[in-house]
């Protein structure tokens, strides 16, 4: 008999921190600020858009797994208004203790100031965030995806970012076929190459969790 051991908790904190790093970097225009300095244009008058606060904003969560739960803990520090889309809200009633409101996917997309996607890639979630769904978002939305690239129509997402300078996109994805599309500098887009879960602490937690799981498996 072969036992398959899944390490599912080690990276949750690191990914949640990465998500908020993207949210803050985009809304505070850190990427653009740094680029202006490199171009010797380091003056606030040269911003494409004025930096924005995230406190009290509406955060829409797509997915209700372990990463989302860590995101919620951080979001509470910023007094954010929390809503969540999940296929099975009855399985996640404990989120109500964090003042999370369950809503439909379309409601999340239409109403949220900031949207985060943290779901696995399956046949049901492939291109869940289609071009039509992207059109539902406000031109001032911040959209974050640290899940698999094929959950979102990335081309349509970037097209919207190119259309609206106030539409912020933060991606931590495998670049796959989007390397050329994402190689252009955009002041409202930040892309990292699926690095959210490679912190030093993640490696330590993975080793610890793996060892515990092996021991538990051997002990039956």
What is the chain's mean pLDDT, rounded? 91
Domain ranges of the chain: 12-218
CATH 3.30.70.360 corresponds to the domain 12-218: no
Tens digits of per-residue pLDDT, 161-199? Answer: 999 999 999 999 999 889 999 999 999 999 999 888 887
pLDDT tier for residue 200 given thresholds of 50, 70 and 90: confident
Q: What is the mean pLDDT of residues 19-36?
A: 96
Q: Record the pTM.
A: 0.90
- Residue 168: in which H helix or E strand, if any? strand 168-172
**Cα–Cα distance, 47 to 206 (Å, whole number):** 41
Tokens 């492939």 belong to: 126
Q: Is 7 exposed, middle or buried (0-12, 13-18, 19+ CB in 10 A)?
A: middle
pLDDT at 145: 98
Q: Summarize the chain as % helix, strand, coil (round to 5).
A: 45, 15, 40
Angle between helices 200-218 and 12-27 (to 10 degrees): 160
């Amino acid at each position: 008999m072969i036992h398959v051991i899944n390490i599912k908790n080690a990276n949750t904190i690191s990914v949640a921190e990465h998500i908020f790093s993207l949210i803050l970097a985009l809304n505070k225009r850190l990427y653009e600020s740094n680029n202006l300095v490199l171009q010797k244009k380091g003056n606030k008058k040269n911003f494409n858009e004025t930096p924005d606060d995230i406190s009290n904003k509406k955060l829409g969560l797509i997915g209700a797994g372990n990463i989302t739960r860590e995101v919620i803990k951080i979001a509470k520090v910023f007094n954010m208004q929390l809503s969540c889309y999940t296929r099975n809200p009855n399985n996640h009633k404990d989120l109500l203790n964090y003042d999370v409101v369950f809503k439909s996917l379309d409601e999340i997309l239409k109403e949220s100031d900031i949207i985060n996607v943290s779901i696995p890639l399956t046949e049901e979630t492939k291109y869940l965030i289609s071009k039509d769904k992207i059109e539902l978002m406000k031109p001032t939305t911040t959209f974050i995806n640290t899940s698999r690239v094929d959950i979102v129509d990335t081309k349509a997402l970037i097209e919207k970012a190119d259309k609206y300078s106030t539409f912020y996109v933060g991606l931590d994805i495998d670049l796959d076929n989007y390397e050329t599309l994402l190689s252009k500098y955009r002041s409202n887009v930040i892309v990292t190459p699926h690095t959210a879960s490679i912190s030093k602490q993640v490696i330590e937690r993975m080793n610890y969790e793996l060892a515990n799981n092996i021991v538990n498996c051997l002990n039956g």
